[in-house]
Amino acid sequence: MAGRTRAIGMRLAQTVPVILGVIVISFVLTRALPGDPAVYFAGAMADEQSIQQVREALGLDKPLVTQFFLYVGDLAQGDLGRSISTGQPVLTDLAARLPASLELTLSALVLSCVIAIPLGVLAAVRQGSWVDHLCRVLVTAGVSLPTFFTGILLVYIFYYLLGWAPSPLGRLDFIYFEPPRVTGFYLIDSLIAGDLETFAATLRQLALPTITLALFTLAPIARMTRAAMLQALSADYIRTARAAGLSRGKVLFGYGLRNALLPVVTTLGMVFSFVLGANVLVEKVFAWPGIGSYAVEALVASDYAAVQGFVLAMAFLFVTLNLIIDLSYALIDPRIGFDTK
């Protein structure tokens, strides 16, 4: 057990160079972008002198190396800088918007897992049956329909035509108050506050974007589950389990699915990191105050501090995510012990 703690420590230590690399690259890349933030923020009517004033105020007149060390110095004190477009500290912006994105992404992933894994298992067990065909149709539809299209389609049907869904404007209808902030996840915060009405409202608001994202993420997960399950079911140990008279459920789930989980978890990790960065389209369609739309706006405005803060936050998320996935590998498969590394 001590070896395992040490191994996790080692694994964490490996992430330090990654983070350092991200800091340097995000700094250099934002500077390399075309566009001058001083011109942008000085406004259309500005003359040379006022642009120069803005430039000095932003610290952009100093050499790049000096700027970098100032930035790193601020980072070390936990200061990500101030966004020039919102006027807020970047940290505050991120803290407000990241939970919104995470809440959407996580609920979409949970939904797609709940559908995709059983679907993949069934498709593998009843190969060639209608479930298998349904799985194929869903997978094809999921990858071929872009999220902004399914999003708008869902809004058109469920909000405009049927009127079942609330207006697709943000995380909560304006008639409700935000729940007292604890985690930043409205679903959890409203439960903590015991406010079931807000919880239900959040859920209604969350439903359409979640389904939109879930349709998209469902495809790779269902596909991988089916393939991994097919492979597991053709293994020798399944034959042994059947020859020992174990029940069908035990053979399928206890022996088959658990062995098939490893590639599924890998896919899940990939899908998660992909979606977190790419759900900006869904955020735009549903006016979701998430991190994706924030980053795009910051990028357009050459808002250096905000872009760097976003990239850094994402890097931290991915590193944590990879760590969690590696740990769950070791939990699922005893052959991947940490001590063997």
- For other proteins, which stretch binds (CB under 8 A), given 139-147, 237-245, 299-307, 312-320? 237-245
* CA–CA gap between residue 215 and residue 206 (Å, rounded): 14
DSSP-based three-state secondary structure for 24:
helix
Q: Which of 149, 237, 253, 274 binds other proteins (CB under 8 A)?
A: 237
DSSP-based three-state secondary structure for 71:
helix
**Residue 13 vs 248, nearer CB to other proteins:** 248
Q: Does 51 bind other proteins (CB under 8 A)?
A: no
Query: Shortest distance, CB of residue 263 to other proteins, whole angstroms?
Result: 13
Q: Segment 293-332, which members bind other proteins (CB under 8 A)?
A: 332
Q: Are 89 and 80 in contact (CB under 8 A)?
A: yes
**Residue 247 vs 320, nearer CB to other proteins:** 247
Query: Shortest distance, CB of residue 70 to other proteins, whole angstroms?
Result: 46
Q: Using the 8-state DSSP alphabet, how is residue 167 labeled?
A: P
Query: Shortest distance, CB of residue 210 to other proteins, whole angstroms?
Result: 32
Q: Does 80 bind other proteins (CB under 8 A)?
A: no
To 10 degrees, the CA torsion angle through 298, 304, 305, 307? 50
* CA–CA gap between residue 59 and residue 66 (Å, rounded): 10
Q: Which of 64, 114, 258, 324 binds other proteins (CB under 8 A)?
A: 258
Q: Segment 194-213, which members bind other proteins (CB under 8 A)?
A: none
| 118 to 147: interface string for other proteins, x by CB under 8 A | ---------x--------------------
Query: Tokens in use for 169?
Result: 């404007």
* CA–CA gap between residue 78 and residue 68 (Å, rounded): 15
- For other proteins, which stretch binds (CB under 8 A), given 97-105, 170-178, 193-201, 246-254? 246-254
* CA–CA gap between residue 318 and residue 223 (Å, rounded): 23
Q: Which of 247, 253, 320, 324 binds other proteins (CB under 8 A)?
A: 247
Q: Which of 239, 253, 274, 324 binds other proteins (CB under 8 A)?
A: 239
Q: Distance from first CA to last CA of the chain, Å, rounded?
A: 15
Query: Tokens in use for 201?
Result: 């409202």
Q: Does 249 bind other proteins (CB under 8 A)?
A: no
Q: Does 333 bind other proteins (CB under 8 A)?
A: yes
Query: Shortest distance, CB of residue 142 to other proteins, whole angstroms?
Result: 27
Q: How many residues does the chain have?
A: 341
Angle, helix 291-300 to helix 90-125, in steps of 10 degrees: 130
Q: What is the largest CA-CA distance in the chain?
A: 86
Q: Does 250 bind other proteins (CB under 8 A)?
A: yes
Per DSSP, the chain holds a count of helices (H) and strands (E) of 16, 0
Q: Which of 130, 254, 274, 320 binds other proteins (CB under 8 A)?
A: 254
Query: Shortest distance, CB of residue 122 to other proteins, whole angstroms?
Result: 15
Q: Are 8 and 338 in contact (CB under 8 A)?
A: yes
Q: Does 1 bind other proteins (CB under 8 A)?
A: no
Binding site for other proteins (CB under 8 A): 127, 234-237, 239-247, 250, 254-255, 258-259, 332-335, 339-340
